[in-house]
Amino acid sequence: MLDKKINNYLEKYLIYIATILYKYNCSANFITLIGAVAGFFCFFCIVESEFFLAFLFLLLNRFFDGIDGALARIDGESDLGAFYDIISDFVFYSLFPIGFVFNNIENAFSICFLLLSFVSTQSTFLASAWIIEKNKILVKKNKKSFFYIGGITEGFETIIFFTLMLIFNDFVYLISYIFGLLCWITCIFRIYYIRKILLS
């Protein structure tokens, strides 16, 4: 919901850092890989109840996710890079909450609900992009590799809820249910949006 405004604000800083990395022949795909590694370290820290370290790795993961896109726009975007980026994001978004199950099995039911909610948003995210591309529907361009429909649970909101889970880790179950419900609202909105386009 807030991604566009935040990305517009951060863009000049990300471009500045990406320009420096470009001078040292650093590729966007390599940055994506580093971000994925940070995501795995975040997971292990959650399992070991090292929540402050997990927060730092969460920030690193999201930072590199922003940098790889900025670097790709300088060096030249590629479908393979976008493919790597999406996989990295989706794996991390699933791995992060699973860490709380390994940390405390009592979180299993709420985390399962959250993961199911993630499947709903990820499915509508990809399916809507495919529909738009397949039908060559004219939409307002964005700075992503392909068009996607926004919602109330995008990247920034995910970071906020993940941070809340780390800070208030005794209430992970409650945060998971709330975030999961918001994800379902996003899913329903996207279904309505695509249905409206295809039937108009």
DSSP element (H, E) containing 93 = helix 79-103
Domain boundaries, the chain: 3-199
What pLDDT score was predicted for residue 79?
A: 86
Q: Does the pLDDT at position 51 exceed 80? A: yes
Return d(Cα 108, Cα 193) in angstroms, integer: 32
Could you tell me the pLDDT band of residue 139, with boundaries at 50, 70 and 90?
low
- Average pLDDT for 122-149: 71
**DSSP-assigned letters across all residues of 134-178:** HTT------SSSS-----SSSHHHHHHHHHHHHHTGGGHHHHHHH
Return d(Cα 7, Cα 23) in angstroms, integer: 23
pLDDT tens figures, 77-87 = 788 988 999 99
Lowest mean pLDDT among 53-57, 124-128, 169-173: 124-128
Q: Does the pLDDT at position 53 exceed 70? A: yes
What pLDDT score was predicted for residue 4?
A: 66
pLDDT tens figures, 142-161 = 555 545 566 778 888 999 99
Q: Which residue has the higher pLDDT, 21 or 155?
A: 21
Report, at the CATH architecture level, how domain 3-199 is classified: Up-down Bundle (1.20)
- Average pLDDT for 91-105: 97
